[in-house]
Every structure is written in C-alpha cells, then in structure tokens.
Structure 1
Amino acid sequence: MLKKVDRGSEPTDGGNLILNTREEYDEAMKDPIAAKYVRPFRMGKELINNIERWCLWLVDAEPSEMRESKFISLRIEKVRQMREISTASSTKAMAKTAWLFGQQAQPQTNYLAIPRVCTNRREYTTCDLYEPNIIAGDQIYVCSDSDGINFAIIESSMFMAWQDAIGGRLKSDNRFSNTVVWNNLPLPELTSDMRAKVIEAGKAVLKVRANHPGQSLADLYDPTYMPQDLRKAHDELDKIVDVAFGATKPCSNNDERLEILFKSYIRMTQE
C-alpha cells in the first residue's frame, strides 16, 4: 500500500542547469524566456536546512525559445561540452539533449521528499511534502503522496526504529534506502478507518510545523530544541501508527516497536 520510492532527478550538467546563488537567480529572472523555466531545486541539504536554490527545468521549452534566450543557450552549450568530453558513454549520449537533466524522475503530483542521508541525532526523519513545481535532485528520494499516507508513516517512530535497525550508514548518519528499508517495511493492510486516522495524524504534524514559520527542519527536529507542540503531534502520530502496525496499545519504546516489526516481517515474508 506504500507508494514506490525513486531517486530524484540527476542533473549531470557540470552545474550549468543549477542556479546556486541569488545573483544567478536574479540574472535568469531578467531574461523573460529563462524566467518561465526557473524552478526551485532541492537536494538533501536544501530540504533539511531550508536553503534556497533553483534550476532551469527545460522539459517543456521549445527549441526557438532556447535559441533566442542568451542566458539559456550559453548554459546549454556548457552542458553539451561537459557531456561530450566525458569518458562515460552514457554521459556522452546525453549531450544530444543538453537542455535536460541527465536523469529525470520528477513527480507530476504532490510528493514526499526524503533526504538520502540525515544525522542520527534526530528522533524523526526530516521529510516534507512538496508540490511538483519544486524539482528534486538526486540526493532526495521522491514518492507520489497525494493523500499524505506515506508522509505519516515515514515520520513515525515505528519507521525510525526500522531505519535504525536495517538501514545503511554514511559514517554515523542514517542512509535511507528505497529497497532495503522502504520496500521491506512490514506495514499491514490498513482498514479505511485506520488509514484515515494515520493520514490525519500526519497532517497534524504538518500543521504544527506551519506554526513555526522560517524554521528549517534542522531547527525543528534538533532534539535539544524541538518545540513542545511538534513533539506532542509526533507523540499522537506514534500512538496511531503503533496500533496500525499491530500493537495492542501504543508502544513505550523502540525495542517494543522492533519486536512488532520483525514479527510482522517474518509473517509477511512467509505468506
């Protein structure tokens, strides 16, 4: 019932389709054609720390527009040159479509954005729901999530217990995997009533986050300074998700959650 998770789009552009600074953004916006195709761009760092970054997303651009725009054409030429001199045959082939990201996986609907790596200090994952006009780079995993069920599950302590137990590490930090971690998460089939409760609890977390404008996910989920209302919203989410995974009552700790998870995993893989 959980949606498929994919890596975000990989530019393979030598940095030429990315607008890293406000100066680059302002320059692009002065070009009436380029301005049509500037989109917010997020990697894991931007997602977690609320850093502004942009890109040229030229999927729908017409050839005449790209030729006419000096800003766009110069950057496309740099991408073409970078790809042509690559020793990788796959990258060389991308030179024929130098205006496009090398690999595209942008959702067409609202989606869950999951950082590939996040610090193990946090008690919860630092994910967010994005609209499709925000372009996700390849340091983010993406998952279409129109109703928010996937967001609610991944923001629970049940998921975090699973991530900590079987997920990979980059140094000491948690490394998300769409195969080992997500695809193997033993979530039972939910009744429509339970599904609705999980979704609403996830929405409550988002609502509380919105009560703290200007705060990044890094700010909100620093365990030393996590706001009380946000912690309470997560506690309520955990109570519901624990039962959704098969607990007879809310769990007291992650050891109890792991016991449920591994029993469910064994049962589901034997069916």
Structure 2
Amino acid sequence: KKIHANTKKYIFEYDDVKGLPHKINAKKINCYLVDASNILIENRTKPISNVKPIVKGCEATDDGHLTFTEEEKIEFLNKEPNSAKYFRRLRGGKDLIAGRDRWCLWLKNAHPSEIKKMPLVVDRINKVKQFRLNSPKDQTVKKASTPYLFGEIRLSDTGDSIAIPKVSSERRLYAPISFVDHDVILNNTVQFIPNGSLYEFGLVQS
C-alpha cells in the first residue's frame, strides 16, 4: 500500500489545556510529534560523561531476620549484649525520606567461634537459611550456604555515598537525595553513588 505524505503539515499546540489549540506550520513531524528530523533517543546504561556510576543497594533476602527497628535492636541487645559490635545502621528509601535509622546484623567479618557464643544470633541465621532454602529461585537457594550474610552486598569502601530513594512523591519540589556515611548499609530500596561528590549530587538533583 502506497503512503502519501501531505505537502502541508501542521502541529496543534495548547498554551492552556482548557483553551483552544493554535496551529503551527511544520516541515517535518517526527515520531516525538515535533517539527524536527527523525532522530531517535536510544536507551543507554552507561553515562556519556566521566561521572561515577549509580549502583543498587544491598539485598538482604533475610525475611526480616537480620534487620531491626530501633526498638527491636534495644530488646535484642538486652538479651544478647555481645552482639552489639555487629550492629550497623541500615537505611532504605522510606528511612532516608523520614530521617530515621534502622539496624542490621552485619556479620561479614565475624568469626564463626564468636557467632556460636550468641545463641539468639545463631537462631536468626538458621531462620534466614531456612527462608532461602524454601525459595523457588535457584539463586536464592544457593545463598542459603551463607545465611549470615546479606544476599547481595554493595558498599562504598571510603567516603560518603549519595543515596537516592527509588520511590518518592512526584509532588516534591526537590528529589529527596542525601549524603550518607559509608558505614551505613543501604538496602535495595535505595540506589547510591559510592564516594559521591557535590558535582554528582548537583547533577542528580537537577
């Protein structure tokens, strides 16, 4: 079937959605419905300039057994005081927006002999293991071999991170991003720029 292009082309635009449209003469209407050439914007996963990458936060895959609210942490420490040195601050998207902290058992460098001295910690590790073994996903089942660790670990070794909640209200005037100390564990509801600078902060905020 032969397609005939009209010699005269028009774009109708509205200055006000409640008003009437006005007509604009166009030479060529592209797929974005503007008077311009057919230049397509392609998807890319890497920045075109020399900036640090944005990465995903840590994935606990723990069914909540390695994570604590402030109140849960206090209660746990009353029963298992030797675990205090293994707690680290944890923040997700909602925590960053609300300005609050949660906590997690971070046993990455804990010696097995130390863990065995804390029966309540061992109990939580066993529950994480069982949760992962019951998963229908092969990858999650494999992670049951290290139930004392978060399922996926991504950290900033030095400097502050720029934390970006994955979800936020579109009614905000500014994106609720913030600098976070590298000792804070960011979970999978956050994306972050490791060792981020003011330049990257301004770029994301803009």
Structure 1 length as normaliser, TM-score? 0.55
Displacement after TM superposition at 1:40 (Å) = 1.1
Q: Give the structure 2 partner of residue 129 of structure 1.
A: 179
Displacement after TM superposition at 1:152 (Å) = 2.3
Of Structure 1 and Structure 2, the greater strand share is in 2
| Alignment equivalent of 2:163, drawn from 113, 121, 125 | 113
Which structure 1 segments of 5+ residues have no match? 160-271
Displacement after TM superposition at 1:21 (Å) = 4.4
Deviations 1:48-69 (A, max 9, x none): 0112311111111111111111
2:136 aligned counterpart, secondary structure: coil
Deviations 1:47-97 (A, max 9, x none): 101123111111111111111112211110100111111111111111100
User: Do residues 49 (structure 1) and 127 (structure 2) align?
Assistant: no
Deviations 1:207-254 (A, max 9, x none): xxxxxxxxxxxxxxxxxxxxxxxxxxxxxxxxxxxxxxxxxxxxxxxx
Give 1:86-105 correspondences, 5 Å limit: 86-105=135-154
Displacement after TM superposition at 1:98 (Å) = 0.1
- The structure-2 alpha-carbon separation of the partners of 1:146 and 1:21, relative to structure 1 and needing over 3 Å to count, comes to closer
Give 1:1-271 correspondences, 5 Å limit: 1-22=50-71, 24-30=72-78, 31-109=80-158, 110-155=160-205, 159=206
| Separation of aligned partners in 1, 2:135 and 2:196 | 39
Are the aligned partners of 2:156 and 2:195 in contact in 1 as well (CA < 8 Å)?
no
Percent of aligned pairs with the same residue? 34
Q: Which amino acid in 2 is paired with 1:64? A: S
- The alignment's C-alpha RMSD in Å is 1.4
Of Structure 1 and Structure 2, the greater helix share is in 1
Are the aligned partners of 2:97 and 2:176 in contact in 1 as well (CA < 8 Å)?
yes
Which structure 2 segments of 5+ residues have no match? 1-49
1:51 aligned counterpart, secondary structure: coil
Q: Which amino acid in 2 is paired with 1:130? A: V
| Separation of aligned partners in 2, 1:58 and 1:17 | 10
1:98 aligned counterpart, secondary structure: coil
1:40 aligned counterpart, secondary structure: strand
| Separation of aligned partners in 2, 1:149 and 1:67 | 46
Larger Rg: 2
Displacement after TM superposition at 1:27 (Å) = 2.9
Structure 2 length as normaliser, TM-score? 0.71
- The structure-2 alpha-carbon separation of the partners of 1:71 and 1:27, relative to structure 1 and needing over 3 Å to count, comes to farther
1:118 aligned counterpart, secondary structure: coil
- The structure-2 alpha-carbon separation of the partners of 1:121 and 1:146, relative to structure 1 and needing over 3 Å to count, comes to closer
How many positions carry a matched residue from both structures? Answer: 155
| Separation of aligned partners in 2, 1:102 and 1:79 | 10
| Separation of aligned partners in 2, 1:139 and 1:105 | 13
